Chains A and B, each alone.
Chain A
């Protein structure tokens, strides 16, 4: 019997790994990929709570679909920005992108 706690603990671990990746990666593409892990942790929580709290409703899954759509848009735009920065600055490392610091 899988309880709701199983899913929440799994999603918490995935969230923690994603936070670790965001905080430690130098490569901006790696940061975006870690962000995808966090979105997936949220999606697991959404669907699990939806199944356990309202078994007849599908609201959590609808929210998860919206999250996936927004995450896809965010990923496309983030990668486009990284590509534009690479073209201008010849780097994708987040700690070398300091042109807005002045």
Chain B
């Protein structure tokens, strides 16, 4: 049963990702990206990390994709579908990425997993409380540093985008 859900989610992710990188319209690309990220949230649910699935939907689909769509609309005039969206390296890039995938898949197939890992616990445990406790005990310094980083990114984005009063064109 869970294997069927896994294949469904994997098909959703791969199909949406392929459509995303091959779509000629960048706005459609953003929507396909949202679909792919939603599939990744489903994979997180399959991996029993419900908190991460919620974070994924909230931050990626709710914030990053919406922000991307805003920027696409702000730069819309020259990103119409009639402009070629791909550069001339499409065949070498395809070969390189395909070889990368084949390399990783070969490594996975040739590794003897069963002697190295005991197998994941199939019991569905909600580890949200453990994550929260870890954040406030062992990982409190990285947690605070990330908050400072987000604040710096916020201020930096405002500084970059804000137009000076003096040089209005």
Nearest opposing residue in chain B for A51, CB measure: B120
Contact A36 B113, CB 8 Å, known A14-B17, A27-B26, A65-B55? no
Q: How far is the CA of A26 from the CA of B90 in the complex (A)?
A: 11
CB interface residues, B 1-60, toward A, < 8 Å? 2-3, 6, 10, 13-14, 17-18, 20-21, 26, 29-30, 33, 36-37, 40, 43-44, 46-49, 51-52, 55-56, 59-60
Q: How far is the CA of A53 from the CA of B56 in the complex (A)?
A: 22
Chain B residues near A55 (CB-CB < 8 A): 118, 120-121
Partner of B86, one of A2, A24, A80: A24
Q: Is the interface of B mostly helix, strand, loop or mixed?
A: helix
Q: How far is the CA of A44 from the CA of B3 in the complex (A)?
A: 16
Q: How far is the CA of A34 from the CA of B17 in the complex (A)?
A: 9
Contact A90 B121, CB 8 Å, known A26-B86, A79-B71, A84-B161? no
CB interface residues, A 57-93, toward B, < 8 Å? 58, 61-62, 64-66, 68-77, 79-84, 86-87, 90-93
Q: How far is the CA of A100 from the CA of B79 in the complex (A)?
A: 23
Chain B residues near A97 (CB-CB < 8 A): none
Contact A7 B43, CB 8 Å, known A75-B64, A80-B161, A92-B78? yes
Partner of A86, one of B44, B74, B83, B149: B74
Contact A19 B97, CB 8 Å, known A26-B87, A81-B160? yes
Nearest opposing residue in chain B for A5, CB measure: B108
User: Min CB distance, B108 to chain A, in Å?
Assistant: 5
Chain B interface size range: 35 or more
CB <8 Å contact, A91 and B56: no
CB <8 Å contact, B51 and A61: yes
Chain B residues near A5 (CB-CB < 8 A): 108-109, 111, 113
Contact A68 B56, CB 8 Å, known A9-B105, A62-B134, A83-B71? yes
CB <8 Å contact, B60 and A68: yes
CB interface residues, B 87-132, toward A, < 8 Å? 87, 89-90, 92-94, 96-98, 100-101, 104-105, 108-109, 111, 113, 117-121, 127, 130-131
Chain A residues close to B by CB (< 8 Å): 1-10, 12-21, 23-27, 29-30, 32-34, 36-37, 40, 43-44, 47-48, 51-53, 55, 58, 61-62, 64-66, 68-77, 79-84, 86-87, 90-93, 95
Q: List 8 A-B contacts (CB under 8 A).
A: A9-B104, A23-B96, A33-B68, A43-B52, A58-B130, A61-B52, A71-B64, A87-B163
